[in-house]
A and B are shown apart, each in its own frame.
Chain A
Amino acid sequence: MSKAKGRDVASSTPGFVLVGAALGLIFLLLPLVGLIRRVAWRGLLGNLVEGPASEALRLSLVTSVIATCFVVLLGLPLAWVLARIAFKGRSLVRALVMLPMVLPPVVGGVALLGAYGKSNGLLGSTLYNLFGLQLTFSPLGVIVAEAFVALPFFVMAVESGLRSIEPKFEESAAVMGLSSTKRFSRVTLRLLAPALLAGTAVAWARALGEFGATITFAGNIEGRTQTTPLAVYLLLESDPEAAYALSFVLLVVCVGVLVTMRDRWMGRRS
């Protein structure tokens, strides 16, 4: 399928739109350039491989990946129910699920304390008294905080993906003879793959960058709960070079993920 250039109504763009887009791009890219300029290239590896920076990187990587797995496990069924089952109060439930997205992260952390805090959390005190399990100030708490803020992003992407799947594919598969479980795994999941990938990527990026909820709920313990964003914040005063180096790593990771995802944000189209 070829695209006729230039003269089509659909492919002409008003000038002011192009200007706006350019401004938007500059607005976003300038700080990134500014950050890259501050990185001390010579000592980069040294800064990252030793000390609090390397601890923070390792912790961030491990917790964000586990948190993302958690998010996918819980988010997929949630997105399914929101997309496919019409029940009373569905829009309210959907709004509640999206709440952590608009909540200031520190407030999210306070909310997590209210639920899972050892001292007077709704569930937390029970968990501690019965099983001796303390989520706060532990890597598990970091995972909980990261999953909490990342879940809505995943659900949003996947729910939208589910809604955009035309019924005809699953119907056709049913008529062909596939049971509902087989339809789900062989047709629906495949069609959902772009949205699943995009949702997972954005959830992971969110988990990786989380600060406010993590520091409030899981605290800031070097090696145990001091994730990369927290380390950057503290290092900015004591060791700015390490801080910039860490920030650069986060930047590279995010860009890497986004570049791999490039076409699939919008779903696979010809």
Chain B
Amino acid sequence: MKRLVGVLMVGICTMGTVAPAAAASPQKGEVTVSAAASLTDSFTALAKAFRAANPKVKVRLNFGSSSTLVAQIQAGAPSDVIAAADLASVERLVASGNVVAAPRVFARNSLSIAVKPGNPEKVKSIKDLARLKTIAMCGKAAPCGVYASSALSRAGVVVEESNITRGVDAKATLGAVVTGDADAAIVYKTDVIAAGKSIHAVEIAASSNVKAAYGIASIRGSKNGSLAKAFVDFVLSEQGWRILKGFGFQKP
């Protein structure tokens, strides 16, 4: 009975209307969300908005490389929601039994190149990456690393492994250009937008670029199943999409 009432409440809240206090009691409790590093800013904003609609809810955000997050969940990390930078990561969780339903796409992203402000190495396109000394990319097994390799091969560009420094996640990869000495980084467009003036962005032509599909799902066996579902629905809602769009994501 309690559950039914809970579901009804969630339904009302996610429709964006706020019922009079007497009629609808907002969700309460804690929900832990494991999200890809490239979702850092957007999910922080989403969590804030979710909290605004449900003041008694605490959202714990756990950011990292999608592949690291998958490994953590498979090892038993108590997470309620997974939001990964690709569908394959969530599907691995389905295969290992940690996620029941198939992932739902909540946003799309594509790649971009970040270089130092002023573009000292005069990078004009992805093809120029071959002549640079050090390029930062995500780990080979991480989604953004896979996407980046794919983009390079689609453009017919070969970069020596000895010139690639691998960041632990998308944010760290970008950091190699912002704070470090890397000549360029292949990261998500959203990361590049978030970095603002601290880097100079170089576009990757659509012919070589990838369309990353970000997947979200609740994790099976979590103690906060209804809250997890509520959060997932919120991300997939109009309001959720508006927030994601504001950070540069593309329509799912």
Residue numbers in B under 8 Å from A136 (CB-CB) = 134, 180-181
Which chain B residues border A233 with CB–CB below 8 Å? 168
A137 engages B168 (CB within 8 Å) = no
Is the beta-carbon distance between A137 and B134 smaller than 8 angstroms? Answer: yes
Q: Is the CB of A113 within 8 A of B179?
A: yes
The 8 A CB mask of A219-245 against B (1 = contact, 0 = none) is 111111110000001101110000000
Residues on the B chain within 8 Å of A134, using CB: 133, 181
Range, interface on chain B: 20 to 34
Shortest B33–chain A CB gap in Å is 20
A237/B71 contact (C-beta < 8 A), A219-B180, A223-B161 known: yes
In Å, the complex CA distance between A136 and B176 comes to 10
Out of B71, B133, B140, B167, which one reaches A236, CB within 8 Å?
A: B71
The 8 Å CB contact of B167, one of A119, A137, A220, A226, is: A220
Task: Report the minimal beta-carbon distance from A134 to chain B, rounded to whole angstroms.
Answer: 7
Chain A residue with minimal CB distance to B166? Answer: A220
Q: Which residues of A contact B181 (CB under 8 A)?
A: 113, 117-119, 134, 136-137
SS class, residues of chain A in contact with chain B = loop
B68 is an interface residue with CB less than 8 A from chain A: yes
The answer, yes or no, to whether A215 is at the interface (CB within 8 Å) is yes
User: Which residue of B is nearest A121, CB measured?
Assistant: B181
Q: Which residues of B contact A113 (CB under 8 A)?
A: 179-181
Our pick among B116, B161, B172, B182 for the contact of A137 (Cβ within 8 Å) is B182
**A216, CB-defined interface residue at 8 Å:** yes
Query: Is A69 an interface residue, CB under 8 A from the partner?
Result: no
Q: Does B67 contact A (CB under 8 A)?
A: yes
Task: Tell me the bound Cα distance from A174 to B117 in angstroms.
Answer: 63
Inter-chain contact B136/A219, CB cutoff 8 Å: yes
| Bound-state Cα–Cα, A163 to B120, Å | 53
* Shortest CB distance A240–B (Å): 8
- Other-chain residue from A118, A220, A236, A237 in contact with B165 (beta carbon distance below 8 A): A220
B180 neighbours in A (Cβ, 8 Å) = 113, 117, 119, 136, 216-217, 219
Pair B163/A221 contact, Cβ less than 8 Å: yes
When chains A and B are docked, how far (Å) is the Cα of A61 from the Cα of B70? 31
A222 with B141: CB separation less than 8 A: no
Docked pose: A152 CA to B244 CA in angstroms: 47
Q: How far is the CA of A237 from the CA of B145 in the complex (A)?
A: 13
Judge if A254 is at the interface, Cβ distance under 8 Å.
Answer: no
> Who on chain A is nearest to B172 by CB?
A215
Whether B53 sits at the interface, judged by CB under 8 Å, is no
Name the distance in Å between A31's Cβ and chain B's nearest Cβ.
14
Q: Answer yes or no: A187 CB below 8 A from chain B CBs.
A: no
Is B207's beta carbon under 8 Å from chain A? no
Contacting pair A222 B168 (CB below 8 A):
no
B164 at the A interface (CB under 8 A): yes
Write 13 A-B pairs (CB below 8 A) sorted by A numbering.
A136-B181, A137-B133, A137-B181, A137-B182, A219-B176, A219-B182, A221-B164, A226-B166, A234-B141, A234-B166, A236-B71, A237-B67, A237-B141
3 A-B pairs with the lowest CB-CB distances in the bound complex, closest first: A219-B165, A238-B141, A136-B181
Taking A110-B179, A237-B67, A238-B141 as given, write out 16 further A-B residue pairs in contact, using a Cβ cutoff of 8 Å, ordered by the A residue number.
Answer: A134-B133, A136-B180, A137-B133, A137-B165, A215-B172, A219-B180, A221-B161, A223-B161, A223-B162, A224-B162, A225-B165, A233-B168, A234-B168, A236-B71, A237-B65, A238-B67
Chain A residues near B (Cβ < 8 Å): 110, 113, 117-119, 134, 136-137, 215-217, 219-226, 233-234, 236-238
